[in-house]
């Protein structure tokens, strides 16, 4: 178990105090020693006086040491005493403190305060065990709580409430507040507060009376009302000044009583219904008590309407998306499961996943408030486009879902998708003179043709949407089994990636970049995964599946490995090493620039120049931070190359706005040089780039004919399997030597 946060703070403060006293001790000792030595040199002393002087110097240093040790201990004691109340409050208070640390992509409990034992009844060891938290969350609240980690990662903080089972088996309401550390996104600090502490007035008759939610009455032996306080009268609508003519059951109706006797049992809590004077039907909790002699019976009635309203509010939080007011993904899961269970044999059930195309640009161009208005307008249009047997849901942001049940013909699905797409044909009016044109991508699947369970259908509809989003314009995609295979293989790769990093299964391959005479002028460093079963996997087949953290880890590892390889990498005819390194936009931050500046001396010692390659898509709508980072890298002496230039997003803006030294023409252009129009386009790219002082590389040369055509276009460098395939460093060196 790790130390709690205040213990860590205490240790840091004590260490700081020790450091200050140690510095003072060192300075004082040095001064005493210098003064003593100066006296010995400046004044003549006989041997006896010299011995006495040395003895006095030693005694002075010993006395000084004792004094400073005493002061350091006093400072430590004072620091700990000042922090002791906080320690006591943390480990004995009503709020449980805990920490989660990210391990292998998942957050695991690393610390929990010891007061968990007297609040929830569990030991610290039990609380740190796997699945302890999830197993004890109330089953009805698990769906709401599962998204907490992703929300706190996105928003830095998140607060939610749910029921949690104590060690004694009863459920209590917890308020759970999570937030990430300011300097470390891999750690989450949280605190649980028992909300039952806020409801202690339930056990305090005076406080409850003040809140007018609890009433008291005295009953006779026949359970007729003898007297009642004002709260009881107001709750049940009793206006008679002589209440003993009324039986308690005239005002309330027990909901959990099987006893046909007109008398209510003592000590049993009854859930009851009663009417206020407004004729509003409410629920309450009633209990009969007796005095010690058993001669007087008392009734206590608690109005539960406030708690019922809170329960409804919590249900709305759990099953409604607040911005659009639509049911959320959790409600979709319940409704989908019910639709599957009630579907007739000759009926289909369809699930559609809808995404507003490039919606992030709306937020960036018009602001979040206008973006929210767009989502609300889109939700209204989608609802109007739905038939009676279809229901609309919103998971978050621009992620919409539709459940279509009772389908008799498959064409009904296509008609619905067409209607949804057509609903966005007209521009969306946000304010006067402000209109936004929106379009959508739709992915769909059906039961029982594509999947048999709710989980499968949700996953398949999402896979179909991802396929649609990869298209260059708004698109509809209906799921097929090929997507299922892709989705399963991608999931498997994601799971294996984390293990591969720990097992050091990655390697750097090098591919020569040659001039027109096929002499190597430099090398591109390429990441490869040595998979245990699949063999060597190219980066393009697994990098798109990596999350940001994994990409950063791989990028950092790759650059360090390349620098370690520098002494063995062959030089060109000029004795230089030109290395092209692929980087991710996620890597390019202040820390990356600082690291590369530190590596500069190693690069200069080996006469090496680094060129950083960025995918063209990374420069679409770049942030100000990315622009600044690229400028700082070029100022530090590094070069920038656009990789796969022309892969769907080619634009002259990049050549003008960024400090680019070269572009690599996408290999599909090289493959189509035998096409007259394709040849003319590439010829124009090369000529325009050369006029701007930008070098052009032919990427993906795979045949003699392609090399011949590329030479005719006067590319600066050539690269491809026909010239030289990418090889591990040792094989590359052997090939060159041979």
Q: What is the pLDDT of residues 630-656, one digit of tens each?
A: 888 888 889 999 887 765 444 566 667
Does the pLDDT at position 523 exceed 90? yes
Question: Residue 79's closest CA among 8, 3, 17, 6?
Answer: 17
State the Cα torsion 549-553-559-565 to the nearest 10°.
-160
Residue 410 Cα to chain centre, angstroms: 38
Range 608-631 average pLDDT: 79
Examine the pLDDT at 703 and tell me if it is beyond 80: yes
Bond before 152 cis per omega within 30 degrees:
no
One-character DSSP codes across 513-535: EE-TT--EEEEEEEEEEEETTTE
Selected residue with higher pLDDT from 612 and 54: 612
**What is the mean predicted confidence (pLDDT) over 711-723?**
92
Nearest C-alpha neighbor of 715 from the set 693, 696, 690, 692 = 696
Residue 70 near residue 24, CB atoms below 8 Å: no
Instruction: Summarize pLDDT for 37-58 with one digit per residue, the tens.
Output: 676 666 666 666 666 766 776 6
Q: What pLDDT shows up at residue 554?
A: 86
pLDDT at 263 over 80: no
> Of 113, 126, 205, 223, whose CA–CA distance to 167 is shortest?
126
Q: What is the C-alpha separation between 719 and 703, in angstroms, rounded?
A: 11
Per-residue confidence (pLDDT) for residue 712, from 0 to 100: 92
Looking only at the bridges linking them, the beta strands covering 214-219 and 225-228 are antiparallel
How far is Cα 609 from Cα 205, in angstroms, rounded to an integer?
80
Q: How many CB atoms lie within 10 A of CB 615?
A: 18
Query: How do residues 7-21 score in pLDDT, each as one tens digit?
Result: 455 555 556 665 666
Residue 2 pLDDT greater than 60, yes or no: no
**Which 3 state secondary structure label does DSSP give 185?**
strand
pLDDT for res 697: 93
Residue-level pLDDT at 367: 77
Whole-number pLDDT of residue 5: 52
The more confidently predicted of residues 593 and 228 is 593
pLDDT given for residue 586 in this prediction: 75
Residue 603: pLDDT over 90? no
What six digits make up the tokens of 587? 């890597």
The per-residue pLDDT of the chain, averaged, comes to 77
* pLDDT tens-place string over residues 410-454: 888 888 888 898 888 888 887 766 778 888 889 898 888 888 888
Residue-level pLDDT at 74: 66
**Residue 732 contacts residue 697 (beta carbons within 8 Å):** no
Residue that has been written with the tokens 């408030």 in this structure: 369
Confidence check: pLDDT of 510 > 60: yes
User: CB-side exposure of 489: number of CA atoms within 13 Å?
Assistant: 10
Residue 202's pLDDT is 40
What are the CB-based long-range contacts (under 8 Å, 24+) for 161-167?
161/195, 161/314, 162/137, 162/138, 163/137, 163/138, 164/120, 164/136, 164/137, 164/138, 164/192, 165/136, 165/137, 165/138, 166/120, 166/121, 166/122, 167/120, 167/121, 167/122
CA distance 685 to 678: 11
pLDDT reported for residue 213:
65
More confident residue, 626 or 78: 626
Give the rounded distance of the alpha carbon of 463 from its chain centre.
21
pLDDT at 694 over 70: yes
Mean pLDDT within 526-530: 90
Looking at residue 207, its pLDDT comes to 35
pLDDT at position 221 is 77
CB 430 within 8 A of CB 373: yes
User: Is this prediction's pTM over 0.75?
Assistant: no
Q: What is the pLDDT of residue 306?
A: 62
Q: What's residue 197's pLDDT?
A: 46
Distance between CA 284 and CA 316 in Å, rounded? 22
β-pair partners for 254? 272
- Read off the pLDDT of each residue in 105-126 and give the average, rounded to a whole number: 86
Q: Which residue from 111, 74, 116 is spatially nearest to 92, judged by alpha carbons?
A: 116
More confident residue, 49 or 334: 334
Confidence of residue 481 (pLDDT cuts 50, 70, 90): low
What pLDDT sits at residue 696? 93
Highest mean pLDDT: which of 64-68, 199-203, 393-397, 442-446? 442-446
């Amino acid at each position: 178990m790790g130390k709690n946060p205040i213990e860590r703070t205490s240790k840091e403060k004590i260490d700081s105090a020790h450091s200050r006293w140690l510095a003072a001790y060192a300075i004082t000792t040095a001064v005493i020693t210098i003064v003593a030595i100066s006296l010995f040199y400046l004044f003549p002393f006989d041997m006896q006086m010299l011995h006495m002087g040395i003895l006095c110097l030693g005694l002075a240093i010993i006395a000084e040491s004792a004094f400073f040790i005493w002061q350091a201990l006093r400072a430590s004691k004072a620091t700990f005493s000042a922090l002791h109340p906080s320690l006591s409050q943390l480990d004995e208070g009503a709020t449980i403190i805990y920490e989660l640390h990210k391990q292998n992509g998942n957050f695991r409990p690393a610390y929990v305060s010891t007061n968990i034992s007297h609040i929830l009844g569990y030991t610290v060891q039990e609380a740190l065990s796997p699945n302890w938290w999830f197993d004890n969350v109330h089953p009805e609240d698990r769906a709401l709580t599962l998204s907490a980690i992703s929300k706190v990662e996105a928003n830095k903080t998140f607060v939610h409430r749910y029921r949690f089972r104590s060690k004694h088996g009863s459920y209590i309401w917890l308020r759970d507040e999570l937030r990430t550390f300011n300097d470390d996104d891999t750690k989450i600090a949280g605190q649980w507060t028992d909300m039952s502490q806020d409801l202690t007035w339930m056990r305090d008759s005076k406080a409850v009376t003040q809140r007018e939610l609890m009433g008291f009455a005295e009953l006779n032996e026949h359970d007729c009302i003898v007297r009642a306080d004002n709260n009881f009268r107001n709750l049940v609508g009793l206006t008679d000044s002589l209440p003993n003519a009324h039986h308690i059951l005239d005002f309330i109706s027990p909901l959990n009583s099987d006893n046909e006797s007109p008398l209510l049992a003592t000590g049993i809590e009854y859930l009851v219904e009663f009417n206020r004077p407004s004729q509003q039907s409410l629920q309450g909790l009633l209990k009969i008590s007796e005095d010690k002699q058993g001669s007087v019976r008392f009734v206590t009635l608690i109005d539960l309407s406030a708690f019922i309203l809170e329960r409804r509010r919590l249900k709305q939080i759990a099953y409604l998306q607040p911005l659009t007011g639509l049911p959320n993904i959790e409600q979709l899961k319940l409704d989908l499961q019910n639709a599957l269970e009630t579907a007739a044999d000759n009926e289909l059930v369809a699930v559609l996943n809808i995404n507003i195309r490039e919606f992030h640009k709306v937020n960036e161009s018009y602001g979040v408030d206008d973006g929210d208005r767009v989502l609300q307008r889109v939700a209204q249009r989608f609802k109007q486009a739905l038939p009676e047997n279809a229901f609309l849901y919103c998971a978050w942001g621009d992620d919409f879902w539709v459940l279509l049940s009772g389908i008799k013909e498959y064409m009904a699905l296509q008609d619905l998708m067409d209607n949804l797409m057509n609903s966005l044909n007209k521009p969306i009016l946000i304010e006067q003179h402000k209109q936004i044109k929106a379009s959508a991508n739709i992915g769909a699947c059906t039961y029982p043709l594509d999947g048999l369970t709710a989980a499968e259908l949700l996953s398949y509809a999402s896979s179909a949407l991802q396929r649609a989003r990869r298209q260059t314009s708004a698109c509809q995609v209906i799921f097929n089994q090929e997507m299922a295979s892709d989705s399963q293989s991608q999931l498997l790769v994601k799971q294996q990636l984390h293990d591969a990093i720990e097992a050091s299964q990655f390697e750097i391959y090098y591919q020569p970049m040659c001039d027109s005479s096929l002499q190597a002028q430099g090398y591109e460093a390429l990441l490869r995964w040595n998979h245990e079963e699949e063999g060597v996997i190219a980066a393009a087949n697994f990098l798109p599946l990596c999350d940001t953290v994994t990409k950063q880890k791989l990028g950092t590892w790759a650059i360090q490995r390349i620098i370690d390889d520098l002494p063995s990498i062959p030089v060109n005819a000029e004795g230089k090493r030109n290395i092209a390194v692929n980087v991710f936009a996620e890597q390019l931050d202040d820390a990356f620039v600082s690291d590369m500046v530190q590596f500069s001396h190693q690069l200069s010692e080996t006469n090496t120049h680094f060129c950083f390659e960025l995918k063209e898509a990374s420069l679409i709508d770049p942030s100000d931070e990315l622009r600044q980072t690229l400028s700082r890298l070029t100022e530090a002496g590094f070069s920038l190359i656009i990789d796969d230039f022309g892969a769907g997003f080619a634009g002259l803006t990049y050549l003008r706005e960024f400090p680019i030294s070269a572009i690599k023409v996408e290999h599909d252009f090289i493959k189509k040089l035998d096409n007259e129009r394709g040849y003319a386009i590439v010829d124009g790219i090369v000529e325009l780039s050369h006029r701007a002082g930008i070098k052009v590389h032919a990427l993906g040369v795979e045949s003699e004919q392609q090399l011949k055509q590329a030479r005719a276009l006067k590319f600066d460098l050539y690269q491809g399997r026909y010239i030289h395939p990418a090889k591990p460093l040792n094989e590359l060196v052997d090939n060159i030597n041979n």
